[in-house]
Amino acid sequence: MNQALKKIVGPRIHPDEWAAHRGRYLLPSVLLVLAAVMLLVSIFLPYWHMQLNAPQYPGGLHVIGYVNHLSGDVHEIDSLNHYIGMRPLDEAAKFEKATAVMMITALSLLVLGAVFIHSKWAALLSVPAILFPIGFLVDLYLWLSYFGNNLDPTAPLSSSIKPFTPPVLGTGKVGQFETVASAQSGLILAAAASLVIIVALWRHRAAYKPLVDKRTEQSSGDDSPPQKSDMTD
């Protein structure tokens, strides 16, 4: 193994050290595996819910957003949005929906890969998974903003509705309609996975940084020039 790869992978644990402090080294690995599984499970759960309250719909209309599709009263809401010039909901985030399962799986594999890295590079592998829930909400906000601020001017009721941005989370009003948006179990699970990863990285640093520092000191000692007494015959 060359030196660059050794620095990335980090020091290996001596069997005696492992026997003496097994829990110290197991904990970050267990937490990282748990976070990876949480991310994978989140794929099958709803991430976002929006309820549209309108006078003609006493029970409201509901859209449930998964990472790769929408369900619920999508057709009915599209019919209402048509009158104000908003595009059909399924036209949003086509690329994201097509690649979401593959992307989240890749994030999970990166987190699992961090289990075998005993250096600061473990954090680099885990950062995308930590930021994923925020990225999901930002992407959702951008699409809602784009749809709400690019209304078709030829729509029947376009003149009665000003451009708007529906809320990603919380309550908003558009004319006589009220929208209530909330995070669902999939997004909450992904956010919890981010917190688990942060704790895992904290414990990872506590476990492996002393080993990295020790190896660095040993390498520095090996590379130091020989002393004068060593050069005498």
Element (H, E) at 191: helix 185-223
Element (H, E) at 138: helix 121-148
Indicate if the pLDDT at residue 232 is higher than 50.
no
pTM for the whole thing?
Answer: 0.88
Closest CA relative to residue 183, chosen from 34, 47, 13, 45: 47
- Residue-wise pLDDT for 64-116, tens only, equals 999 999 999 999 999 988 888 999 999 999 999 999 999 999 999 999 999 99
Measure the CA angle with vertex 74, ends 162 and 164; round to 5°.
15
Residue with tokens 């929006």: 50
Q: Quick one: tokens of 36?
A: 């990876």
- Residue-wise pLDDT for 172-199, tens only, equals 988 788 999 999 999 999 999 999 999 9
Residue extents of the structural domains in the chain? 38-206
The model's confidence at residue 26, banded by pLDDT at 50, 70 and 90, is very high
pLDDT, residue 12, reads: 78
Q: What are phi and psi of 53, to 5 degrees?
A: -100, 125
Contacts made by residues 94-102, CB under 8 angstroms, sequence distance 24+: 96/67, 96/139, 97/67, 97/68, 97/69, 98/68, 100/43, 100/67, 100/68, 101/43, 101/67, 101/68
